[in-house]
Amino acid sequence: MSDTDLFDPCQFNGLTLQNRIVLSPLTRTRAAMDGSPGPLQATYYSQRASAGLLITEATAVAPEGRGGAYIPGLYDDAHIAAWKLTTDAVHAKGGLIFSQLWHAGRLSHSSLHPQGLAPVAPTAMKQEGQVFTEKGLAPYDEARALTLEEIPEVIAQFHRAAVRAKAAGFDGVELHGAHSYLIDAFVRDMTNKRTDRYGGSIENRCRLMIEILEALIEVWGPERVAVRLAPIGHAYDAWDSDPEPLFTYLVGRLNDLKVGWLDLVEGDTGISRTCEPSFDLQKLRRLFKGATIANNLYDRDLALQARRDNTADLIAFGRPFIGNPDLVERLKVNAPLIDAPRAAYYGGGARGYTDFPTLAEAGGLGDGG
């Protein structure tokens, strides 16, 4: 293992990480309907605290920002103590954890809004498909366009959530700016047809993301703020017609703000590492001045090669962490991985969530490597 630093301690933005492996955000839909996590989440994240950095599942900044039922939030002061169970448990294991702040936009549902109102988007539109509600699957609602007068409140929701994240003991926050949720929908020309200061030009379409990042930095400082981008992703059948100039501009603005971390999804998350329209995402890696987290379908060999080639500072793993709470150790000794069944991904309680054994518990020794 001497030819890689993947498992070595490292320092970025004033934080000392145990290694260069990151737990990627994974929606698990096991919070209470009021958005509160609990002891179950504390156990789940602390089991995975050997990763250099943990990033929570997408955490809503408003009730109407949830992308489904049983999603956690940071939109109520009661969530502070609820999340502190998790941060305390992770810190007790020597881990570091960021909260991923999120607004689902049009991919929410009226049943999740306190007043039953339609979800919001940069432009009025209806998403094809279904969303998981408390009563089961339901068609997406017709989303309405956010008005100019409403946008400051959305920014304020992120600011308040960032304050709560700090009170809850997180080590930083990540802005979810990918996968066609509200912030990403503003950025892309397929989903943003506005003609005001938040639409049209690249600068205008990126305006909301930049203003929200400024709000997060006001609370955390730039070194503890991350942003997730998926420049060539096609989530929910939406993309940008010319992503290279768009995301080159956006990463330049991240540098202007001195944002500390770029969580860069390479391709379509969980589906493919290549898609069209495409461009060399290493251009963004070279441009960004903070720490770059490479994300999407990494396995041991790809991660080792990425560090040998220095194509990313840190490597994120998602689904492999579901069935392997001690994924870092398993990767280190090249042990077999448990492939968690898809039925375990979402919903339920401890089963398929906190009951996967570690290598030591399973009596495995690995085969070296």
What is the reported pTM?
0.96
43 within a domain of the structure (yes/no): yes
pLDDT in tens, 230-243: 999 999 999 999 99
pLDDT in tens, 299-314: 999 999 999 999 999 9
Asked if residue 186 lies in contact with residue 198, where contact means CB atoms within 8 angstroms, the answer is: yes
142 within a domain of the structure (yes/no): yes
334 within a domain of the structure (yes/no): no
| Residue 140 known to be catalytic | no
What is the pLDDT at residue 364? 62
Q: What is the 3-state secondary structure (H, E, C) of the chain?
A: CCCCCCCCCEEECCEEECCCEEECCCCCCCCCCCCCCCHHHHHHHHHCCCCCEEECCCEECCHHHCCCCCCCECCCCHHHHHHHHHHHHHHHCCCCEEEEEECCHHHCCHHHCCCCCCCEECCCEECCCEEEECCEEEECCEEEECCCCCHHHHHHHHHHHHHHHHHCCCCEEEEECCCCCHHHHHHCCCCCCCCCCCCCCHHHHCHHHHHHHHHHHHHHCHHHEEEEECCCCCHHHCCCCCHHHHHHHHHHHHHHHCCCEEEEECCECCCECCCCCCCCCHHHHHHCCCEEEEECCCCHHHHHHHHHHCCCCEEEECCHHHHCCCHHHHHHHCCCCCCCCHHHCCCCCCCCCCCCCCHHHHCCCCCCC
231 within a domain of the structure (yes/no): yes
What is the pLDDT at residue 275? 84
AA identity, residue 167: A
80 within a domain of the structure (yes/no): yes
**Domain total for the chain?**
1
Catalytic residue among 181, 198, 298, 353: 181
What is the pLDDT at residue 369? 35
144 within a domain of the structure (yes/no): yes
Q: Give me Rg for the CA atoms of the chain.
A: 19
CATH number for the domain harbouring residue 19: 3.20.20.70
What's the domain range around 133? 10-323
Residues of the chain with pLDDT under 50: 1-2, 366-369
352 within a domain of the structure (yes/no): no
Measuring CA to CA, how many Å separate 69 from each of 25, 112, 340? Answer: 17, 8, 22
Residues in the chain, total: 369
363 within a domain of the structure (yes/no): no
What the block records as the tokens of 320 is: 């492999």
Q: Phi, psi at residue 262, to the nearest 5°?
A: -120, 110
Burial class of residue 81 in the structure, from the number of CB atoms within 10 Å of its CB (0-12 exposed, 13-18 middle, 19+ buried): exposed
What is the pLDDT at residue 366? 45
